[in-house]
Amino acid sequence: MKPAKPYRACSCRDPQTGRLLGKACPDLGSKKKHGAWYARYEAPRDAEARRRRPRIGPYATEREC
């Protein structure tokens, strides 16, 4: 199956909740080297017929991803 468009994300956490910010991190737009490139793809459904979309990465550049 065809992977989705690559996207940038990081491992920064919200200081109040401790949850990952991922694509919502404010530093992704302002700092060029902040974060890494990832992509998702459709994988076969699991035993309970739930949808699976594993994330592959991190990659240094969008082209490499």
8 Å CB contact between 38 and 54: no
pLDDT in the model for residue 3: 60
Q: What is this structure's pTM?
A: 0.71
Burial 30-48 (b: 16+ CB within 10 A, else e): eeeeebebbbbeeeeeeee
The Cα 30–Cα 17 span in angstroms is: 23
Q: Average pLDDT, stretch 47-56?
A: 86
Assess whether pLDDT exceeds 70 at residue 55: yes
Task: Place 18 in a pLDDT band, splitting at 50, 70 and 90.
Answer: very high
Q: Average pLDDT, stretch 51-60?
A: 88
Task: Place 13 in a pLDDT band, splitting at 50, 70 and 90.
Answer: very high
Task: Place 2 in a pLDDT band, splitting at 50, 70 and 90.
Answer: low
Question: For residue 41, what are its two tokens?
Answer: 């793809």
